[in-house]
Amino acid sequence: MNKKTLKDVDLKGKRVIMRVDFNVPIKEGKIGDDTRVTAALPSIRYVLEQGASLTLMSHLGRPKGKGFEAEFSLKPVAEHLAKLLGKPVAFAADCQAADTEVAALKPGDVLVLENTRFYKEEEAKVKKTDDMTDDELKAKKAELKEKQKAMAQKLASYGDVFVNDAFGAAHRAHASTAVICKYIGTSVAGFLLEKEIRYLGNAVNDPVRPFVAILGGAKVSDKLAVVNNLLDKVDVLIIGGGMAYTFLKAQGHDVGNSLCELDQLDYARQMIEKAKANGKQFLLPVDNVAADKFDAAAQTQVVGNDIPAGWMALDVGPKTIALYAAAIQGAKTVVWNGPMGCFEMKPFAAGTFGVCQAVADSGATSIIGGGDSVSAVNKSGLAAKMTHISTGGGASLEFLEGKELPGVAALNDK
C-alpha cells in the first residue's frame, strides 16, 4: 500500500469530498443491510473530528443514466447516516448542481450527493447498436469521455481533498472514483480502502504459508484469470461450486445435467497441468450431492465424480467436505471467493457451511470476498471468526486476478 491515506494529510478547515460505497439494498425506502454504510463510518468520523467539512458521493443500483429514478435515490441512505452519526446530514438532489449546498457547509458538516449514476457520463459506457457504424461509435465514446471529464471537474470543485473509501467501486475508472483525481490537488485512500488493499495485498503478494485459496461459484469463465494468477502464488487451490464440473468433465467424468462450460475444457486441462508442473495441490470434489431437478424439494443422492444422466450436482459431498477441511486446517492464510454449492437451498448448503466452519476453526488469516461467500459467512454466524470480510465483490476478484484497480492507481503515492 504505497498510496497516501487520510492520516497523511492535514484536514483542518479543508473541504473533503469522499467517494463511498453506499450501494445498499433498499425496499420501499428502507435499507435492508447497512453493512456498507457502517463500514465507511471510521473514515467519515475521522474527517469530521479533524475539523473538515465532508461531501459524500456514491452510486446505488443500476439506473439507466438518464436522470432521477426514485428507486435508486440515496436520500434514504442520507437519512440513515444521520441516525448513525447522531447529527444532521444535508442532501443535494443533483450531484452535478450542488454548489449551493457545498458552499453552505461548515467544519463538521456532512452532505450526501444524489446518485452519481443518474448521469451516463459517470460510467461513460457506450453500447454499440445494430444501426451504429464504427465511426459513430467512436464519436459517441469521445463525446461521453468529454462529458465524463466535465463531471469529474465539477465533483472535484466541491473539495480541496478527495478521499476514495469505496473499494467496491475501485475497479471502475468512473468520474467519481478515478477521473476526479486529475482535477483535485490531493487524492488519498480512506481507512476502509486501505484495509482492503492491505489484507488482500499481503495475502496475495506476501502470504504467511501454507496459503490456501478456495474458489467457488457457477462459472469457470468468471474466474479464468484468478485461477491462473493464484496458481503462481498458492500452496493449495480448492475448487467447488458449479465451476468444479467443468474441471471434472475435463478429466473425463460424466457430469450429467450439472453446470459445465464445454468451451472451457481445454483451459481447465491447462490449469490442472499447471498445478502439477508448479507442485501445487489442486483439489476437486471426490463426491457430490446430486439432484433430479434444481429445486429445494428435489430427490437427492450422494454420488462419486460421475453424475448420473438426468441428474445435476448442486453441492459437494461429505467426503469432499472432509478433504477440504483437512487442507484448510493446516493453512496460515486463506482467501475464499465463491460458495461450494447452491447454499441458498438447505439440501445443498452443507458444503459451503462446512468450508465456512473449517476456515473459522483454522486460526489462519482469513479473507472472504465475493457477495455469495460473504452472505454465506454471515448466515453461518461465523463472521466474527473471519479476519477480514471484503466489501467489494468485483474489486476483490480483479485484485486476485492481478489487475491494477483504477480507483487505487489514481491516488497520490506516498
What pLDDT, in 10s, does the model give residues 73-98?
Answer: 999 999 999 999 999 999 999 999 99
The chain-wide mean pLDDT, for the chain, equals 94
> What is the reported pLDDT for 88?
97
For residues 275 and 238, the answer to whether their CB atoms sit within 8 Å is: no
Confidence of residue 401 (pLDDT cuts 50, 70, 90): confident
For residues 176 and 147, the answer to whether their CB atoms sit within 8 Å is: no
- Provide the whole-model pTM: 0.83
Tell me the one-letter amino acid at 162: F
User: Which of these CATH numbers, 3.40.50.1260, 3.40.50.2300, 1.10.540.10, 3.40.50.300, describes 199-401?
Assistant: 3.40.50.1260
> What is the reported pLDDT for 198?
87
Please say if the pLDDT value at position 334 is more than 70. yes
Helices (H), 3-130: 35-49, 75-85, 99-103
The angle formed by the CA atoms of residues 37, 364 and 217, to the nearest 5 degrees, is 60
Q: 249 an active-site residue?
A: no
Q: What mean pLDDT comes out for the span 113-141?
A: 92
Exactly one of 61, 65, 108, 371 is catalytic; which is it? 371
> What is the reported pLDDT for 206?
85
Using a pLDDT cut of 70, give the percent of the chain over it: 100
The helix or strand, by DSSP H or E, that contains position 214, with its residue range, turns out to be strand 211-215
Residue 413 DSSP symbol: B
Nearest to 354 by CA among 383, 320, 384, 330: 320
Please say if the pLDDT value at position 313 is more than 80. yes
Q: What mean pLDDT comes out for the span 186-200?
A: 93
> What is the reported pLDDT for 177?
97
Confidence of residue 132 (pLDDT cuts 50, 70, 90): confident
> What is the reported pLDDT for 333?
94
The pLDDT tens digits of the residues spanning 360-393 come to 999 999 999 876 888 888 888 898 999 988 877 7
Exactly one of 4, 141, 219, 332 is catalytic; which is it? 219
Count the Cβ atoms, other than its own, within 10 Å of residue 211.
22
User: Which of these CATH numbers, 3.40.50.720, 1.25.40.420, 3.40.50.1260, 2.50.20.20, describes 6-192?
Assistant: 3.40.50.1260
Exactly one of 3, 14, 36, 233 is catalytic; which is it? 36
88 CB-side CA count, 13 A: 5
Q: What mean pLDDT comes out for the span 117-132?
A: 92
Asked if the domains 6-192 and 199-401 are classified in one and the same CATH topology, the answer is yes
Count the Cβ atoms, other than its own, within 10 Å of residue 93.
14
The pLDDT tens digits of the residues spanning 27-84 come to 888 898 888 899 999 999 999 999 999 999 999 999 989 999 999 999 999 999 999 9
Q: 198 an active-site residue?
A: no
> What is the reported pLDDT for 279?
95
Q: 15 an active-site residue?
A: no
Confidence of residue 1 (pLDDT cuts 50, 70, 90): low
> What is the reported pLDDT for 225?
84
Q: What mean pLDDT comes out for the span 258-275?
A: 95
Residue ranges covered by each domain of the chain:
6-192, 199-401
Using a pLDDT cut of 90, give the percent of the chain over it: 80
Classify residue 56 by burial, with Cβ atoms within 10 Å: 0-12, 13-18, 19+.
buried
Q: 346 an active-site residue?
A: no
For residues 326 and 355, the answer to whether their CB atoms sit within 8 Å is: no
